[in-house]
Structure 1
Amino acid sequence: MTRPVIIALDFPTAETALAFLDRFPASTAVTVKIGMELFYATGPAIVRAVQERGHAVFLDLKLHDIPNTVEAAMRVIGRLGVTYTTVHAAGGHVMLAAAKRGLLAGAQSQGLAAPQLLAITQLTSTNQTILNEDQQIAGSVQQSVVHYAKVAKQSGCDGVICSAQEVAAIHAACGPDFLGITPGIRPASAQADDQQRVMTPAQAAAAGSNGLVVGRPITQAADPRTAYQQILTEWSD
């Protein structure tokens, strides 16, 4: 399976997001993450516009609600032809299974392949203090992440979103085919920003990550195409 470098299109409008993508050659197809900010501003139209340019879409809406609501929302997402989408593992196994059912039903209604369902374990902005004091979850961040990964696998998810620091433990617990897609990726020269659990692309590759999510080091670079290629090279070497 191809290990993508997923560019996070964290832009406020469709115009700025598409203008950014137009800086890449038409022959360069990438995978991009459309998150809450951009999707809430533009709706499904931005998904179609990105796909029309030949790019794959990771629709990162992090659904977390009662199972019936999540299943209905995932039926809609399943009809969009996206490659990945997300749900919070903290919603529990009943909600996760409902999300999978909704995705399959939506995709099948359009004759599409179902998106790969990725469960959010612990956000890469979560540190030990936040886990123990704010969330009132005992133990370490890694223990919480691996537990959520096991629940996600048992519920039919295809993988999880996690820090690259936890990928090896997740693969040990859930098998090598269970995806670990990792945000919080920063080249050695970049700032960590608001991320807590970060790795470089090379470190993530060595740890066994199945895909990277990279935002500001690419989108805020003076030359995004070169920044993307540098990360891709470091990730692939």
Structure 2
Amino acid sequence: MSIGLAIENLHAGYGPATVLEDVSLTVNAGDIVAIVGANGAGKSTLLNTIAGLVPASSGRMRFGDTDIAATRADALPRKGLVLVPEGGRLFPFMTVRENLEVGGFSRRKSADFSTWLDEVMDLFPILRERQGQLAGSLSGGERQMCAIARAVMSQPDLIMLDEPSVGLSPKLAHEVLGLVQTLRDTKDVTVILVEQNVGEALAVSDQAHVLDHGRIVRSGPAAELADDPAIQKAYMGL
């Protein structure tokens, strides 16, 4: 299986404060990979560092054949790597359709742009119904779906999702995480998933890494970690 993302000995943080220490992990193309851990473990910092929003102080990051450790954040979507931050951060006074079109800005001149927009709306039927509605008036679940759909509009190879179910009811959270599997299966997208609901995250993932105080302390098949009593006790309330 080809490598989608490879991180070696990554250190990163904010000013003098180091958050990530010696993080190494591999994400195979086509996998859903969960990053789990307690609040403050460094999960969001890891995604933001991969996305170029937090500078790495040392270490290597390769996306496919490209070294992205020093790549500007605004250049990464064109290379096929996108981040959906916690909360989605839609443009609230733009319509759903306009938000999706912004997500596909790098593909606007492509002959298949309209076809791709239709395909994305097929994946998220509620967004087709709401396409003329202001994004700020959507429900929590609809906003999250719109944020994910906006990322898909750039036709990415890898999507990073930071807490996609935060603030959602258990039913909506289950639906959103189910869409993650649909994306992987129908659009051949690799996914890195940071999710507060560890049980749900492991259930939809192929591989998982446990982050604790900025370090990877466990890695393995997601199903194996889900069955581990120590993981269940520490992160799943079992």
Instruction: With a CA cutoff of 8 Å and minimum separation of 6, indicate the structure with the bigger relative contact order.
Output: 2
Q: What TM-score, normalized to structure 2? A: 0.41
Q: What TM-score, normalized to structure 1? A: 0.41
More strand by proportion, 1 or 2?
Answer: 2
